[in-house]
């Protein structure tokens, strides 16, 4: 089934129901939403020759148009490639090329054909399009027929090797993910208003489907991003607000709510996940917002859907086992199985830590044009998540570590290797290694250990200037530690564990080598 059928259906069943909002202003009901998509889909085919299976990339900030474009792409059976709008255009260009996108939509409704995006180029500000093909408008009344395993969304995650990987999500994956939501996370009513405060290219955008299916409202804040006070105003004005937020966003909401004496009126649910939530922060969030929080654990390879921790449990501070359960990521979603594996991929009993493996209908079809990575990650029908954790006897899963070295800073994933790649290209950098340091504000911050070629030839401002020319600024190290050598094992591999100890010494004022 084509997931765009849900919009087609909603437009017919509830034509007058409010659908799209810019801030508190309604800009479309469901009939209009579906009609826009239908006519724009015809345009995509007529003007750009987009056919089923073609990839179409979006590199833009959140907007109602974003949602319409996504549905246009699915309506004609094409594949959406939403690119994080915080990425550098060079990175976006790389993704569009890797996905072999026929078109890329950018800010201001500009459309670019793929020829404009040669490898590594960022010509996103010039030229226009494109190809013409004949089309039959009658075929567009309903969405193009799709099978469950046909691709719908190429979800680009950063790879530990420094190269992004395109996670292939099918219509079936997205349907299963959406159907689990009301069962395991939060029931949905037509009065709900899902607000897109985090990028639609990721988790927040993935929650659109179930809200379309239920004829609920979709709200893009006027700021087109995350501002806690704006969210509270939207909640008071619109009511029944639901949002997905990274733990650092929840923390900022708590701080703002306390400043203005706001207790969560108008907010129905805050779903948090994507990074660890520290217990102290969760306690404060529950004190401030009451029983409005639900946690999910997922990853691009099984989007938003591995396990969930219920609102009731999170709010029940009187439970004697609250602290240990609230520190977990909850129990498996209805359609998922979770196993803990030892290094030989044998299942481990409850209580023992190992790699988390999952199986179910939300698990990706594989990585786009990367069979080697697919074979390493999908083994005997199980997805190896790269996360380390354990299950208890009641099925609660606790994450203990990340086997991949990803740094989660401000809710965004930063892969040390790609930061190292950029810094090591600087002519004055001899060696570099990047690790995460726990940080109250950001969750973790990016720290670069740098060995200069010549003592004193580098400083923070030189490296920052080098970095912002080449990569998104949220990945920029917040701290540099200059040293004469890096600790290595007998194979010559840099010892990150040792570097983390050095960081403590730097904090204590002890000099590093």
What is the contact surface with ligand AMP in residues (CB under 6 A)?
A: 157, 273-276, 295, 297-300, 329, 385, 387, 399, 402, 413
- DSSP for residue 494: B
> Could you tell me whether strands 217-220 and 193-195 are parallel, antiparallel, or unpaired per DSSP bridges?
parallel
Q: What is the closest distance, in whole angstroms, from the C-beta atom of residue 499 to ligand AMP in the complex?
A: 20
Q: CA Rg, the chain, in Å?
A: 23
C-alpha 185/C-alpha 176 separation (Å) is 13
Strand order in the sheet with 302-309: 25-29, 18-22, 217-220, 193-195, 241-245, 267-273, 293-299, 302-309, 331-332
Q: What is the closest distance, in whole angstroms, from the C-beta atom of residue 374 to ligand AMP in the complex?
A: 15
Q: What is the closest distance, in whole angstroms, from the C-beta atom of residue 399 to ligand AMP in the complex?
A: 5
Which one, 208 or 385, has the nearer CB to ligand AMP?
Answer: 385
> Within a 10 A sphere around the Cβ of 397, how many other Cβ atoms?
22
Q: What is the closest distance, in whole angstroms, from the C-beta atom of residue 177 to ligand AMP in the complex?
A: 13
Nearest C-alpha neighbor of 144 from the set 82, 73, 209, 43: 73
C-alpha 83/C-alpha 72 separation (Å) is 17
Q: What is the closest distance, in whole angstroms, from the C-beta atom of residue 423 to ligand AMP in the complex?
A: 22
Take residue 20 and report the two structure tokens written for it: 């799209």
Which one, 54 or 444, has the nearer CB to ligand AMP?
Answer: 444
Which one, 329 or 335, has the nearer CB to ligand AMP?
Answer: 329
φ and ψ at 389, to 5 degrees? Answer: -170, 180
**3-state SS record for 358-383:** EECCCCCCCECCCHHHHHHHEECCEE
CB burial string 425-464: b at 16+ within 10 A, e below: ebeebbbbbbbbbebeebbbbbbbbbbbeeeeebeeeebe
**3-state SS record for 95-137:** HHHHCCCCEEEEHHHEEECHHHCCCCCCCCCCCCCCCCCCCCH
Which one, 356 or 486, has the nearer CB to ligand AMP?
Answer: 356
Which one, 245 or 471, has the nearer CB to ligand AMP?
Answer: 245
> Could you tell me whether strands 103-106 and 165-170 are parallel, antiparallel, or unpaired per DSSP bridges?
unpaired
Which one, 249 or 329, has the nearer CB to ligand AMP?
Answer: 329
How far apart, in Å, are the Cα atoms of 93 and each of 56, 153, 156, 157, 269? 13, 17, 12, 15, 36
Which one, 114 or 443, has the nearer CB to ligand AMP?
Answer: 443
Take residue 247 and report the two structure tokens written for it: 């733990």
How far does CA 277 lie from the centroid of its chain? 16
Which one, 146 or 165, has the nearer CB to ligand AMP?
Answer: 165
Q: What is the closest distance, in whole angstroms, from the C-beta atom of residue 335 to ligand AMP in the complex?
A: 17
Q: What is the closest distance, in whole angstroms, from the C-beta atom of residue 378 to ligand AMP in the complex?
A: 15
Which one, 62 or 302, has the nearer CB to ligand AMP?
Answer: 302
C-alpha 45/C-alpha 74 separation (Å) is 12
Which one, 75 or 289, has the nearer CB to ligand AMP?
Answer: 289
Q: What is the closest distance, in whole angstroms, from the C-beta atom of residue 386 to ligand AMP in the complex?
A: 6
Which one, 77 or 389, has the nearer CB to ligand AMP?
Answer: 389
Nearest C-alpha neighbor of 483 from the set 411, 410, 433: 433
Q: What is the closest distance, in whole angstroms, from the C-beta atom of residue 413 to ligand AMP in the complex?
A: 5
How far apart, in Å, are the Cα atoms of 206 and each of 130, 191, 453? 29, 19, 46
Q: Write the Ramachandran bin of 32: left for phi over 0, alpha for psi from -120 to 50, otherwise beta.
A: alpha
8 A C-beta contact, residue 296 and residue 275: no
Q: What is the closest distance, in whole angstroms, from the C-beta atom of residue 246 to ligand AMP in the complex?
A: 9
Which one, 5 or 84, has the nearer CB to ligand AMP?
Answer: 84
Nearest C-alpha neighbor of 423 from the set 462, 463, 395, 390: 463
Q: What is the closest distance, in whole angstroms, from the C-beta atom of residue 31 to ligand AMP in the complex?
A: 34
Q: What is the closest distance, in whole angstroms, from the C-beta atom of residue 6 to ligand AMP in the complex?
A: 23
């Amino acid at each position: 089934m084509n997931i765009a059928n849900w919009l087609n259906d909603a437009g017919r069943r509830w034509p007058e129901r409010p659908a799209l909002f810019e801030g508190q202003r309604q800009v479309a009901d469901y009939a209009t939403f579906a009609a826009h998509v239908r006519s724009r889909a015809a345009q995509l085919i007529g003007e750009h020759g987009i056919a089923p299976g073609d990839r179409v990339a979006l590199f833009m900030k959140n907007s109602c148009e974003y949602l319409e474009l996504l549905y246009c792409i699915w309506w004609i059976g094409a594949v959406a490639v939403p690119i994080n709008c915080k990425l550098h255009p060079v990175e976006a260009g790389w993704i569009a090329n890797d996905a072999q996108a026929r078109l890329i939509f950018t800010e201001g409704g500009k459309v670019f054909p793929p020829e404009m995006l040669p490898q590594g180029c960022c010509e996103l500000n010039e030229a226009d399009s494109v190809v013409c093909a004949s089309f039959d408008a009658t075929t567009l009344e309903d969405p193009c027929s799709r099978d469950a395993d046909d691709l719908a969304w190429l979800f680009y995650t950063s790879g530990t090797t420094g190269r992004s990987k395109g996670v292939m999500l099918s219509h079936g994956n997205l349907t299963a993910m959406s159907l689990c939501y009301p069962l395991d996370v939060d029931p949905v009513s037509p009065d709900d208003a899902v607000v897109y405060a985090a990028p639609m290219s990721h988790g927040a955008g993935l929650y659109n489907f179930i809200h379309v299916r239920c004829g609920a409202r979709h709200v893009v804040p006027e700021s087109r991003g995350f501002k806690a006070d704006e969210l509270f105003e939207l909640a008071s004005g619109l009511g029944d607000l639901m949002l997905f937020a990274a733990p650092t966003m929840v923390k900022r909401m708590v701080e703002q709510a306390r400043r203005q004496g706001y207790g969560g009126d108008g907010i129905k649910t805050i779903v948090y996940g994507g990074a660890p939530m520290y217990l102290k922060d969760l306690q404060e969030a529950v004190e401030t917002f009451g029983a409005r929080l639900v946690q999910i654990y997922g990853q691009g390879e099984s989007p938003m859907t591995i396990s969930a921790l219920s609102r009731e449990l999170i709010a029940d501070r009187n439970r004697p086992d609250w602290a240990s359960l609230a520190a977990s990521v909850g129990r498996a979603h209805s359609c998922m199985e979770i196993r803990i594996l030892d290094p030989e991929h044998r299942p481990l009993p409850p209580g023992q830590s190992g790699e988390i493996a999952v199986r179910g209908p939300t698990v990706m079809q594989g990585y786009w044009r990367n069979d080697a990575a697919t074979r390493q990650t999908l083994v005997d029908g199980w997805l190896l998540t790269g996360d380390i954790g354990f299950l208890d006897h009641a099925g609660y899963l606790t994450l203990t570590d990340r086997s991949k070295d990803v740094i989660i800073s401000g809710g965004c994933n930063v892969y040390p290797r790609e930061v190292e790649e950029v810094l090591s290209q600087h002519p004055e950098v001899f060696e570099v290694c990047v690790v995460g340091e726990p940080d109250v504000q950001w969750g973790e911050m990016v720290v670069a250990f740098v060995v200069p070629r010549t003592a004193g030839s580098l400083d923070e401002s030189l490296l920052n200037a080098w970095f912002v020319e080449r990569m998104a600024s949220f990945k920029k190290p917040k701290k540099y530690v200059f040293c004469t050598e890096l600790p290595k094992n007998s194979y010559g591999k840099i010892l990150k564990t040792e570097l983390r100890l050095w960081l403590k010494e730097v904090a204590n004022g002890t000099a590093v080598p």
